Chain A
Amino acid sequence: MTIWINVIVQGVLVGGLYAMFAAGLSLIFGIMRLVNIAHGDLIVLAAYLALVTAETLGIGPLPALLIVAPLMALVGYALQRLLLNRTLGHDLLPPLLVTFGLSVIIQNGLLELFSADSRRLQAGAIEVATFPLSEGLSIGALPLLSFVVAVAVIGALQLVLYRTALGRAFRATADDPDVAQLMGLDNQHIFALAMALSLAVVAVAGVFLAVRANFDPAIGPARLIFGFEAVIIGGLGSLWGTLAGGVLLGVAQAIGAQLDPGWQMLAGHLMFLLVLAVRPEGLFPRVRA
């Protein structure tokens, strides 16, 4: 029994990380209908940036985040302004193909720079610290921290979207870009700010990914898929739903892995397909018509 409680707790905690993968993705889709296929590779890019920053400056992962997050936001702003804004329009193809090309470029660029060896960001004592809950059941400090940060990130995004002028601009542009432009908003700039915010979240996700597990240049696409599954399971348009989706995905994977190590990913995908089959709008949808 304890073993299953343990499995579920671990699944919930890793689900926070998946929700962070998903939050940036869902923000971008919500505001400019752009599905960023390079999202997973950008997470891995952030992980490598954190690694380089931490190693060159000799600082821990969390201080490194203070450098990596603004840096990724800058990358996001530039990427949107110079490249991705050109792809937006009624045609689905350009944004998909350009971000797909970007994904291949980032993956192979990282491969060229860092080789295919898997790396890990050292976090020191916190890596092994645990809180005992009861007999045979304890929670790792690091997974707990990443879950708390995930909740904080999603709460912060929710605040930005619904309580600030920037959030109002985001929502206005999402509802009707033409009218938003007429009201004096600069859509190109708003979109670039949204991408900057998305990649700042990506940076947080990347750092926690790098601390939790080994990573290499090829793991980006799987992170994109986890994030995407969390968005769809949770329901489009709802950030808290995305958190729930991430948690459900994490739990499904943890249960699968407990049954048979080969079933970890498969159980997650099957969970996603099941939701798609019985409730295609997701569990907690909040989509305006």
Chain B
Amino acid sequence: MSAVRVEFGGRIGRPALLAIVVIALAAAPAWGGRDDLRLLAEIYAYVGLASLWNLLAGYAGLVSVGQQAYVGLGAYLLFALTLLAGVPPLLAIPLAGVIAAIVALPAAALLFRLRGHYFAIGTWIVAEVFRLLASQASVLGGGSGLSLPVGIVTSIAATRQEREFLIYWVALALVLVVLLLIVALLRSRYGLALKAIRDNEPAALSNGIDVTRIKVIVYIVTAFATAMIGALIFLQKLRISPDAAFSVNDWTAFVIFMTVIGGIGRIEGPIIGAVVFFALRQTLADLGTLYLLLLGAVAIVVMLWAPKGIWGLIVARFGWQVFPLERHVVALARSQDSGAKAP
């Protein structure tokens, strides 16, 4: 065997630093008010959605403008499972993810017949089909939607405060699981393949990577996690309607803008993007539609003149990296290598 070893590394990829951040966020019920928890949980949901969209578009080259299909599907599955099948709400979240992943299989089979640009609009049509089917489902409120009954809400936890804490922790846990899932995927063999696809698809193909297979896997994994986040978002909202659950603005436009502004094709990008998005929203919320208009313009400017986003600029300037994803080839000492191989 060759005398090299592949190591992962990043400049500030210090586990201790990440652990402190996570512990501080987990302790938020102790230092934050009700509004803080609600805002943080919303940010987590968007960090999750944007990271997943980044995995799809930034790594696998699958530009989807229809991820609201899986947010809405997860949300509707949460309502269906709890209302019609009596599943406890917190158990319904992973279950919704699993069912969405199964639904994503035939959807992928159809969508992957569309190439490149047309795939994007195809995903939108799938989302529209889901929305129209949801508005036909009269047991789930049809076109006008319905609220989660009090009995189901109180089954999560008895008091309102306990419920809010619990949902907050579930939201934090979910975004951490999603980020870990993405990091694990990118550190695996598939990750190397994904980076190869991101950088040059024909070259990846000619090196023997089964590009289609990997893209399908990423599409299904994304559907699974997106649906869980969708279920959680609507467990907080407690009210669902087809237009809200399958909103292209809320679950795809915002998510794309966050990812692009933060930096596409890097794990840190969507996180930065989500934080910037919420900081802007808190200060510019009064602008209403003008805010969206501005956001669209900023995304265009970033895409054309700083295509790697805010995090790309930071990396270019300081070389920071929070998640240890960079592969370094390290030469091993000759004696060590032959020692290991000694008969």
Contact = CB atoms under 8 A, between A and B. Distances in A.
A97 interface: yes
A174 B65 CA distance: 26
B124 A221 contact: yes
B292 A104 contact: yes
Nearest to A236: B118
B296 A104 contact: yes
B110 A98 contact: no
Contacts of B99: none
A270 B293 contact: no
Contacts of A280: 113-114
Contacts of B290: 108, 112
B110 A277 contact: yes
Nearest to A221: B248
B102 interface: no
> How many B residues touch the partner, as a band?
35 or more
Contacts of B63: 92-93, 96-97
Given A97-B303, A262-B136, A269-B129, A108 B292 contact: yes
B118 A104 contact: no
A225 B118 CA distance: 11
A101 B253 CA distance: 8
Nearest to A86: B304
A98 B125 CA distance: 20
Nearest to B135: A262
Interface in A223-269: 224-225, 228-229, 232, 262-263, 265-266, 269
Interface in B279-337: 289-290, 292-293, 295-297, 299-300, 303-304, 307
Contact of B121 (A86, A94, A224, A270): A224
Nearest to A29: B117
A260 B55 CA distance: 39
A104 B293 contact: yes
Given A98-B304, A101-B303, A229-B125, A108 B296 contact: yes
B120 A83 contact: no
Interface in A69-91: 83, 86-87
Contacts of B114: 232, 276, 280
B260 interface: yes
A35 B114 CA distance: 13
Nearest to B293: A108
Interface string B13-24: 000000000000
A33 interface: yes
Interface string B113-149: 1101110111011001100110110000001000000
A272 B57 CA distance: 24
A29 B135 CA distance: 33
Nearest to A228: B121
B307 to A, nearest CB: 7
A96 B297 contact: no
B113 A276 contact: yes
Contact of A92 (B110, B116, B124, B300): B116
Contacts of B307: 94
A122 to B, nearest CB: 27
B271 interface: no
B125 A269 contact: yes
B199 to A, nearest CB: 11
A100 to B, nearest CB: 6
A143 interface: no
B175 interface: no
A25 to B, nearest CB: 9
Contacts of A86: 304
Nearest to B289: A108
B65 A100 contact: yes
Contacts of A87: 303-304
Contacts of A180: none
Contacts of A94: 303-304, 307
A51 B343 CA distance: 86
B123 to A, nearest CB: 11
A76 to B, nearest CB: 17
A232 B119 CA distance: 11
Contacts of A93: 57, 63, 264, 303
Across the A-B interface, give the 6 residue pairs with the lowest CB-CB distance, nearest first: A35-B117, A104-B296, A280-B113, A101-B296, A101-B300, A105-B296
Given A34-B117, A101-B299, 20 more contacts: A86-B304, A92-B61, A93-B63, A96-B65, A101-B297, A102-B296, A105-B300, A108-B289, A108-B293, A108-B296, A111-B289, A112-B290, A221-B248, A222-B128, A225-B121, A262-B143, A263-B136, A265-B132, A269-B129, A270-B129
Interface of A: 29, 33-35, 37, 83, 86-87, 92-98, 100-105, 108-109, 111-112, 221-222, 224-225, 228-229, 232, 262-263, 265-266, 269-270, 272-273, 276-277, 280
27 contacts: A34-B117, A37-B120, A37-B121, A87-B303, A87-B304, A93-B264, A94-B307, A96-B63, A96-B120, A97-B260, A98-B300, A100-B65, A101-B257, A101-B296, A104-B292, A104-B293, A104-B295, A108-B293, A112-B290, A112-B293, A222-B128, A262-B136, A266-B129, A266-B133, A270-B129, A276-B114, A276-B122
